[in-house]
Chains A and B, each alone.
Chain A
Amino acid sequence: MTRATSRPLGETPVAALPHQAAEADLLRRNGAAGGSGDAAPADALRPDSHRLKPSTGHATTARAGRSLLAERAGASAGAFSKIVRDLFRYNREFALGSILAAIVVGMAILSAFSPYSPINIYVVAPDMPPSWEHPFGTNSRGQDVLWQLTYAIRNTLVFGFAVAILSRIISLVVGLLAGYKGGLTDRVLMSINDTFIVIPLFPLLILFYFVMRDYMTWALLALVMACLGWAYDARLIRSLMMSLKTREFTRTSVFSGMTTREIVLREHLPYVLPIVFSTTLNNINWSIGLEVTLSVLGFTDINTPTVGTMIFWANQHSAMVSGVWWWFVFPTFFITLTFIGLFLLAVSMNEYIDPRSRLSRMGGTA
């Protein structure tokens, strides 16, 4: 039962493909296709969490999780860099993910060195295909696509993360509270929660645009979307909490005299965190997708370059049929890169955090 902690991290075997329950709810949202037609599960209970298992398994997992947290808390900066180095060396997903993320972040940082203001048009000759002078070509508005894209990637990333982090906070608080407290608290919170789930998002965002007008900057849009985009995941976290509560190790912890706070933080958070990570990724994909959809229809601040507004302007200039392919291919390429990078990172992080997946790998049954 102490196998999990007795082995140094670096010895985690490298698996062919990432696989753990946290992935279950990954990529479920199809924000772009359905507008508000999200397909995230309301109660994606992890099936393993309510199957009968030998109780020793639970005890093992619980202790593994707890000791892991303790280990992480005690990790110094040096240990941290060692972890990263080991992950990098032994975990292919982590390595690839970090490289992709670095490329994308590098693009975003490049925006600080742009020779052109992102809102000015006709600063270079329009419609030039990619060349040494303009590696990504120039668009029909006389802007350099590379530099324009650096701003777009920066803004889109900041936007996606802002929405994700804000909505994660709300969904964690609501989900944990409702799931753990139950009863009236749960009913009240879930009624609010469900209201947010059922209200059709897309017309709402458009109406917000009309009401807020030019105050509808991307920062405000991020805030609005964070306030609208937490409900699914809160429900997910709540149902996870509810099932964790019924499990044996929770009772064991209660009997062993741990406080509620300790139980939630030490025993349950390790189970919840992977969900949070994967929903974060989901949420980023969803918010970026929705931003693109709104932009394509012209309902965002068209003066701020984002991936969505780049597609908006490309569309305004019939770039698709007039052969200016570099105007939409590069943004699409980078948004895909961003997403795959984040996905791989999330997957490898989850593996690192989720005690069960580490156990399963060591068990060798996979």
Chain B
Amino acid sequence: MRSYGIYVTKRFAQFVLVVFIGISLTFFITHLTPIDPVEQMIAAITTFSQSEPEAVAMMRVSLRELYGTGGPILEQYFTYWRRLLMLDFGPSLSAFPTPVSVLIGRALPWTIGLLLTCTLIAWVLGNLLGGLAGYYRNSHALKLFGVVAMGFHPIPYYIIAFVLLIIFGFLWPILPISGGAAQNITRGLNLEFIQSVLRHSILPAVSIVLVTIGGWFMGMRALVSNIVTEDYVVYAELAGVPRRRILPFYVMRNALVPQVTGLAMSLGAIFNGAIIVEFVFSYPGLGRLLIGAVYAGDYGLVLGVAAISIVAVSAAVFVIDVLYPVFDPRMQLT
């Protein structure tokens, strides 16, 4: 047990190190961007409105002062860490003075709601069907499902999403194609709002599940069909254990270890948002916030989203690594 404690401590140190390096790298890379938030803002303002050259120059000076974008990069770096350790992401530059955390807070529930649900649905369905397909290898229905999943997997996501959108939003318009919920209804815990949110999530959710389910299906099928040939399964079969007990308890349980790993990783990655889904379905999540921030040169916001994502993914990796020896005592602790 003591060696396990040492392992966890070492592993935690690595987690902290990775988060530190990750955020630092992202900080410097985002500051390399040639897109200056102040210039971007000035360009947007002056594109449509009359503007005297001297007035624009004055605006530039006062915006730089206000946003604090001047100063040496190292100084900004240390300021950033000081703020970050107090969980303050600072103000968004493109939506000044709204804090970055407020913007992220508004988008996060949608992203988590949609992606968490979809990831889980795809994972459960994919593994269930994959397990069955690996075990009952002669089922035609399952084989067909495998072929369909295979066919969907490489299709660019954009195409799948748009085809769904055209079918159910245009040719047979029964589902909403934009946004997270209907307009002008009371938001909160009421049936109307919940129903609206669910209806709005159907197309994005189906499209995500369609492209991701294939991966879990293939993986599980392969794992199961491999385990089926293992001696202990053969012994169990010879010993007369019923097949419906063998699949869940002898086969799937062992196959789940790598699949759970994969699930944890993809749950961590949720915090990046699903950029194309949100783009196609105008879904109010983190992905579009992130892209918008990159466009506006709003590195405060880019860093905010990136930092959350880095911590989430590293935490997922950390938890998996800590749990592995528990699952598999034969692993050497390093």
Instruction: List residues of A whose CB falls within 8 A of some B CB.
Output: 16-17, 19-30, 32-48, 50-54, 57, 182-183, 186-187, 190-191, 194-195, 197-204, 206-207, 210-211, 213, 242-243, 245-246, 285, 288-289, 292-293, 296-297, 307-308, 311, 315, 320-321, 328, 332, 335-336, 338-340, 343, 357, 360, 363, 365-366
Task: Across the interface, name the chain A residue whose C-beta is closest to B320.
Answer: A42
The answer on a CB contact under 8 Å between A200 and B306 is: yes
In the complex, what residues of B have CB within 8 A of residue A52's CB?
232
Q: A32-B276, A202-B272 are in contact. Are A40 and B294 (CB under 8 A)?
A: no
Interface SS majority for chain B: helix
- Tell me which of A36, A54, A357 contacts B231 (CB under 8 A): A54
The answer on a CB contact under 8 Å between B156 and A307 is: yes
The answer on a CB contact under 8 Å between B221 and A42 is: no
Asked if B131 CB lies within 8 Å of chain A CBs, one says: no
Q: How far is the CB of A28 from chain B (nearest CB, A)?
A: 5
Q: A187-B14, A195-B21, A199-B25 are in contact. Are A29 and B215 (CB under 8 A)?
A: yes
Of the listed stretches B45-53, B78-86, B90-98, B147-155, name the one at the interface; the rest are far from the partner chain: B147-155
Q: List 18 A-B contacts (CB under 8 A).
A: A20-B225, A33-B212, A39-B215, A42-B320, A45-B258, A46-B226, A47-B255, A48-B226, A53-B232, A187-B334, A198-B310, A200-B309, A210-B33, A245-B332, A289-B156, A292-B157, A293-B156, A296-B276
The answer on a CB contact under 8 Å between A365 and B314 is: no
Binary contact readout B296-309 vs A (1 if CB under 8 angstroms, 0 otherwise): 00000010011001
Closest 4 pairs (CB-CB, A-B): A23-B222, A19-B225, A39-B266, A32-B157
Q: How far is the CB of A276 from chain B (nearest CB, A)?
A: 16
The answer on a CB contact under 8 Å between A44 and B302 is: no
Q: How many A-B residue pairs have CB under 8 A?
A: 283
Chain B residues bordering chain A, tally (CB within 8 A): 96
In Å, the complex CA distance between A27 and B149 comes to 10
Task: Across the interface, name the chain B residue whose C-beta is closest to A178.
Answer: B334
The answer on a CB contact under 8 Å between A339 and B211 is: no
Those of B256-296 within 8 Å (CB) of chain A:
257-259, 261-266, 269-270, 272-277, 279, 287, 290-291, 294
- Tell me which of B287, B313, B321, B332 contacts A43 (CB under 8 A): B321
Q: Which of B255, B262, B264 has the most CB of A within 10 A?
A: B262
Question: With contacts A19-B226, A39-B119 known, what are 5 further pairs, Cβ within 8 A?
Answer: A24-B222, A32-B157, A33-B277, A39-B269, A200-B305
Task: Across the interface, name the chain B residue whose C-beta is closest to A193.
Answer: B18
In the complex, what residues of B have CB within 8 A of residue A338's CB?
154
The answer on a CB contact under 8 Å between B154 and A335 is: yes
In Å, the complex CA distance between A26 and B153 comes to 11
